[in-house]
Amino acid sequence: MADTLPREALFEPEPSLESGAAKRRLHHLIDASGLLAELTAIAPRLAVERELLRVHDPAYVERIRAESADRGGDAGGSSPFGRWTFEIAALAAGGCVAAVDAVLDGRVRNAYALVRPPGHHAGPAGGCGYCVFSNAAIAALHLRDQRGVDRVAILDWDVHHGNGTQATFWRDPSVLTISLHQEDLFPPGSGTVAETGAGPGAGATLNVPLPAGSGRAAYLAALERVALPALERFRPDFLVVASGLDASMNDPLGRMNLTSECFGLMTALAMEAAGALCGGRLVLCHEGGYSSAYVPYCGLAIVERLAGVATGVVDPWLTDERRVRALPLRTHEAAAIDRAAANVARIG
Ligand SMILES: [Zn+2]
């Protein structure tokens, strides 16, 4: 927390917001709802060095390995870590790889990789924002380089910009990256609509920075007017979603207004796109999400959609009509989405 609050402010320190609690509670709710018993478990495995090196510089991987075996360190940009982090981060990346393999091999229709630490801020040169290894990017490159999948799209709905994923594929036309995020949140200044890739990858990076306060109408419009047309144009063979749950209305690090119902609707749209374009091949990789009270309900809504099972669990925050009434798309949100939509035509 020393990285998010001035040290002097810590008169009564709280634990780091990036912890296992939200993920454990999501798993517990899926279990308690009865849904877990209907799912197919996919065992994670450690990503091997060759897989990590598809994204990350060798010197960075070696540094994380050495510091993790000692006392820990900082992966870069507010990513303090402790002993044994190398192993758990390699397990997170390998868990995403195992998930895409399971879908590609037809063992499951789709998958949710509930992993930690998150990955989308980590890029070739190093970690950032709690992320150590770039889980979704590593899974995408495994699909392409190891499994012969030509074109992969990564749709990122974490409230923060997927800058590490973007950096990995900045000059790469074979992986389309689309990031929906709160404008100028983290990293500061990153993920503007003008960032669209370079060289052979020009056009294959899309950013949809949304104004703080955006909710259901803005996110659904961003998907319908930008992400889905971009996917149709790109025609991926596999869709990976970097599934941060920190655009929820209860998140302490984001200022967006999504409910669990919205995450379910967004998942349905992703499934529809994957169904139309790539045989339904879809994997969601867990990213951020810092409300340990609300992440479980958002995650359950997603996994219910993926599994096609309604558990009947009631989101206690959706019982107050005034909080969840669907507000119309506002002018400044529509303008931001239109600016991003203008870049879809640049996809080759
Ligand atoms: Zn995030």
pLDDT by residue, tens only, the chain of 348 residues: 345 566 556 667 777 888 899 999 999 999 999 999 999 999 999 999 999 999 999 999 999 999 999 999 999 988 999 999 999 999 999 999 999 999 999 999 999 999 999 999 999 999 999 999 999 999 999 999 999 999 999 999 999 999 999 999 999 999 999 999 999 999 999 999 999 999 999 999 999 999 999 999 999 999 999 999 999 999 999 999 999 999 999 999 999 999 999 999 999 999 999 999 999 999 999 999 999 999 999 999 999 999 999 999 999 999 876 666 778 999 999 999 999 999 999 998
Give the model's pLDDT for residue 322. 66
Helix (H, G, I), strand (E, B) or coil at 21: helix
Q: Name the residue among 339, 271, 332, 334 with its Cα closest to residue 306.
A: 271
* Active-site residue, from 28, 56, 120, 121: 121
CB 130 within 8 A of CB 258: no
Q: How far is 15 from 44, CA to CA, in rounded Å?
A: 27
Question: Residue type for 251, please?
Answer: D
Task: Say whether the peptide bond before residue 118 is cis (omega within 30 degrees of 0).
Answer: no
Query: Ligand 1 centre from 55 Cα, in Å?
Result: 20
What is the rounded CA–CA span in Å between residue 348 and residue 338? 19
CA of 215 to the centre of ligand 1 (A): 16
Contact (Cβ atoms closer than 8 angstroms) between residue 96 and residue 285: yes
- Cβ within 8 Å of residue 296, ≥6 positions away: 22, 25, 26, 28, 29, 30
265 Cα to the center of ligand 1, angstroms: 19
Cα radius of gyration (the chain): 19
CB contact at 8 A, 160 and 245? no
Between the CA of 105 and the centroid of ligand 1 the distance, in Å, is: 30
Using a CB cutoff of 5 Å, list residues around ligand 1, an ion: 158, 160, 244, 246, 288
* pLDDT score recorded for residue 49: 98
- Look up the pTM and report it: 0.96
How much distance in Å is there from the Cα of 6 to the middle of ligand 1? 21
Count of CB atoms situated within 10 Å of the CB of 222: 26
Residue 56 near residue 122 (C-beta atoms within 8 A):
yes
Distance 148 CA to ligand 1 centre (A): 30
Torsion from C-alpha of 335, 257, 115, 73, nearest 10 degrees = 80
Centre of ligand 1 to C-alpha 32, Å, is 26
> Token pair 């990256």 is at which residue?
177
Hey, what amino acid is at 190?
S
3-class DSSP state of 195: coil
Please name each of the domains of the chain with its CATH number: 30-346 (3.40.800.20)
Could you tell me the distance, in angstroms and rounded to a whole number, from the CA of residue 248 to the centre of ligand 1? 11
Told to judge if 286 belongs to the known catalytic residues of this protein, a careful annotator would answer no
